[in-house]
Structure 1
Amino acid sequence: MLFAFLTIGLVLETLHAFKSAFYLSPANETRRLLWTLAHSHGTLFGLINIAFAFSVRAAWGWSPVARTVASRSLLGASVLMPAGFFLGGIVIYRGDPGLGVLLVPVGGMLLALGVLLTALGVRQRGRSMPLPPQDRPAPASSPAPLRRKAARSGA
């Protein structure tokens, strides 16, 4: 995903370099803005998904259902928001974006849900969850078992 949106950025830069009227004409300012928003949101969503992947490990006590809903919400937002900006810029009506831009608020709601569930999942660990087994400190050896053994042997 990150690679795809970075590539889209290169395509937009190429359109800019060749002074494409389809992209740079003052009449197409809305298109340029929307496509730039599609590229930047897509790139940021790629980074958000990488951060989410790392946060899943930090929130090991997170319920599988909440984790799945958060993951799917972030993936849906990652598709809908950039797609809405891009589709809204394909056909412009007197400076207004096309109907594709209606996908953007839906993607925004999915983003909010995914971020909220992720924040709650990470926060849960700090409150009531014990450390995962690999992060727990090794138990200190107690001299008590040695004393019991010595008492049984009569020493």
Structure 2
Amino acid sequence: MLELSDPARITAGIVLLTVVGIESGGFFLLKVFGGRLATTDLQKSFFRAGHAHAGVLVILGLLCLLLTEATGLTGFLRWLAATGVLVAAILMPAGFFLSAIGTGRTAPNRAVVLLPAGAVVLGAGVVTLAGGLLLG
């Protein structure tokens, strides 16, 4: 049986609850693509990308959380390996959704800066975890 540290167990439980939010995002997308909400092409593509990134990154984040338990990482590097992808799972979807909100928006607003910020945290998290796994 896999032994999780208390912080990993609690984090995993909380993250699993976010799936309900992602699920409601799917309901929102049904409204958008069903024509029940007036949206621009930019908004449709950004809303779809935000939803997809949320789902994929939450799954990858849970996997990273579990894999971190198999490393000898400590301190900030352990935190980054365990939760970097989960932080990106907040930043990147937020960047897609927040930068596309507003009636008739055809170009992203300044919230688009969350996308590269999330990408940096994502990369740092997976590279740190990979190093922890490969180096023991």
TM > 0.5 fold call: yes
TM-score relative to the length of structure 2: 0.77
Q: Aligned partners of 1:30 and 1:107: how far apart in 2?
A: 20
Q: Aligned partners of 1:42 and 1:69: how far apart in 2?
A: 18
- 8 A contact 1:58–1:122 mirrored in 2: yes
1:20 to 36, 39, 42: 36
Amino acid at match of 2:61: N
Q: CA deviation at 1:2?
A: 2.8
Identity across matched positions, percent: 25
Corresponding position: 1:54 with 2:46: no
| Cα 1:55–1:22 shift into 2, 3 Å | same
The aligned counterpart of 1:152 is none
The aligned counterpart of 1:140 is none
- 8 A contact 1:91–1:98 mirrored in 2: no
Q: Aligned partners of 1:14 and 1:56: how far apart in 2?
A: 38
The aligned counterpart of 1:88 is 99
Q: Aligned partners of 2:105 and 2:95: how far apart in 1?
A: 18
| Cα 1:92–1:72 shift into 2, 3 Å | farther
Corresponding position: 1:113 with 2:130: no
CA deviation vs aligned residue, 1:105-152 (integer Å, no higher than 9, x gap): 011001010011010111122xxxxxxxxxxxxxxxxxxxxxxxxxxx
Amino acid at match of 1:14: K
- Secondary structure in 2 matching 1:97: coil
- Secondary structure in 2 matching 1:20: coil
Q: CA deviation at 1:92?
A: 7.0
- 8 A contact 1:31–1:92 mirrored in 2: no
1:9 to 2, 26, 36: 26
**Ranges in structure 1 where 5+ consecutive residues have no aligned partner:** 126-155
Give the alignment's Cα RMSD to 1 decimal: 1.9
- 8 A contact 1:92–1:98 mirrored in 2: no
The aligned counterpart of 2:51 is 39
Q: CA deviation at 1:16?
A: 2.4
Q: How many residues align?
A: 119
**Ranges in structure 2 where 5+ consecutive residues have no aligned partner:** 1-17
- 8 A contact 1:70–1:118 mirrored in 2: yes
